Structure 1
Amino acid sequence: MSQSAFYDPTRTALLFVDPYNDFLAEGGKLWPLVQEVASGIGLHDKLRSALAAARTAGLHVFIVPHHQWQAGDFETWDHPTPYQLGAARHQVFAKGSWGAEWFPDFAPQVGEIVVKEHWGASGFANTDLDLLLKQCKVTHVVLIGLIANTCIEATGRFASELGYHVTLLRDATAAASHEAMHSAHEVNGPTFAHAILTTSDFIEALDAFGKGT
């Protein structure tokens, strides 16, 4: 199958995971974690390009947000994960805070869907994402956002298990290290993703589909 056949806009959704200030803005609580990798690949420009191309092509756009911390989170849970407890200690994406606001360049537009917040890494687990994608007749998902080896990978794996065609954009995401990026795209990604592209490759595929080639 040619790349251009992957991205029929009536059947394809761009899933933008966690476009929060805490991840993407200077002063965000998690920005220092991903800054080196993000700056090295020009993350913000790649995200802008991928999002603009998806909107221009008429893809469905879904925002897939992490749970916003509130006082008392996990206090009664039997076994929260270390990942969840760490986020709670640092009050990451605290509800009502600047860090839990959308990074301005990536705020959803009218008609774009904001999914229910995910508590763990997967944007599908205990949310309405699968239901909403199916109601939009989506069969192909393209993942961008943060972090490559946690929420992006978990969401992509879950999508594959549910029968979706999964595309990862290797330069429209970031992680805490280059080793984590390598694992996400060279080791783990090929076990579940149908395509692992650069943002430029993705835009070319959208253009080709639009031209009928």
Structure 2
Amino acid sequence: MSDTYDPRRTAILLVDPYNDFLSEGGLIWPRVEPVAKEVGLLGNLRSVVGSAREVGAHVVFVPHRRWEPGDYEAWDHPNPSQRSIMERHSFARGTWGGEFHPDFQPRPGEVVAHEHWGQSGFANTDLDVQLKQHGITHVVVVGLLANTCIESTARFAMELGYHVTLVRDATAAFRPEMMHAAHELNGPTFAHAILTTEDLVAALGSGKA
């Protein structure tokens, strides 16, 4: 591959790194756990974020709306994911489940974008403005879930003109079929690169993929 990753112009978009998704005892962890453990999700996320920080690339947190009482109840057409959040109170504000996983805490100077209500980290948030103000041209989208927020955020990034990279084993989904769709069927239609964590870490270290 000839894609290059200049750390000054590259951002790791860490999507929804909440305890409810990533920690034992999290509300959604039991549904994510089989795929997450199969691909080594937590270790790979640590590698991606750690490598980005080591080479001076940007780490940008892209959090989902933290549920609060009354959310979505008066909406005309909440989507299926929002209906599920309304029922189970995922990522509830002020709770442990709505906190970032202890291994993925923002450091001083790292951007935490406004919370997204739907599945795209760009829609109705300041993410695009923040990236442009930091001179970002390349985004690497990792976190959860592969076939919802990762795909929507990455597609939106492509439409906005960013170079987009997906990482096969730094994400997870509820079923293997969803991972297959995200990386083998849908991803190739919009992503400029689809890498493994090992390949990405090497690319970040050398400035090339």
Name the Cα RMSD after superposition.
1.2
TM-score w.r.t. the length of structure 2 is 0.98
**CA drift at 1:47:** 0.5
**CA drift at 1:83:** 1.4
- Residue identity in the other structure for 1:18: D
Deviations 1:164-207 (A, max 9, x none): 00000110000001110000000000000000000100011112
CA distance in 2, matches of 1:206, 1:151: 23
Where do 5+ consecutive residues of structure 2 fail to align?
none
Q: 2:47 aligns with which of 43, 46, 49?
A: 49
CA distance in 2, matches of 1:202, 1:30: 27
Whether the aligned pair in 1 keeps the contact of 2:27 and 2:97 (CA below 8 Å) is yes
Whether the aligned pair in 1 keeps the contact of 2:73 and 2:86 (CA below 8 Å) is no
1:64 is matched with: 62
**CA drift at 1:209:** 2.1
Deviations 1:115-152 (A, max 9, x none): 00000000000000001000111010001100000000
2:88 is matched with: 90
Where do 5+ consecutive residues of structure 1 fail to align?
none
Describe the SS at the equivalent of 1:137: coil
Whether the aligned pair in 1 keeps the contact of 2:114 and 2:127 (CA below 8 Å) is yes
CA distance in 2, matches of 1:82, 1:170: 25
Describe the SS at the equivalent of 1:44: helix
Q: 2:15 aligns with which of 4, 14, 17?
A: 17
TM-score w.r.t. the length of structure 1 is 0.96
1:31 is matched with: 29
Q: In percent, how many aligned pairs have the same letter?
A: 61
- Residue identity in the other structure for 1:2: S
Describe the SS at the equivalent of 1:122: coil
Moved over 3 A (4+): none
2:137 is matched with: 139
1:2 is matched with: 2
**CA drift at 1:41:** 1.0
Whether the aligned pair in 1 keeps the contact of 2:67 and 2:89 (CA below 8 Å) is yes
